[in-house]
Amino acid sequence: MECGICYSYRLDSAIPDQVCNAPRCGQPFHQACLYEWLRSLPSSRQSFNTVFGECPYCSKPVTVKVALQKP
């Protein structure tokens, strides 16, 4: 299963673990790819550690949690 944004299976040893919840879509994404995609959209918004936006494939709502950096 490839990431729908970068089209690769592994990204920094991570596999696509985020999925669009729309029944007709189900496209998988790496968390980092989806986060960067949503950050680039002017219509996306962030609340605490979650970013809300639209799926790049079906335009349905999708969310991704921000990975907290360890010191």
pLDDT in tens, 16-70: 999 999 999 999 999 999 999 999 999 999 999 999 999 999 999 999 998 765 5
pLDDT at 68: 63
What's the pTM? Answer: 0.85
Give the CATH class of 1-71.
alpha beta
What contacts 71, CB < 8 A, 6 or more positions away?
none
pLDDT at 67: 72
d(CA 61, CA 55): 6
What contacts 18, CB < 8 A, 6 or more positions away?
28, 29, 30, 31, 34, 62, 64
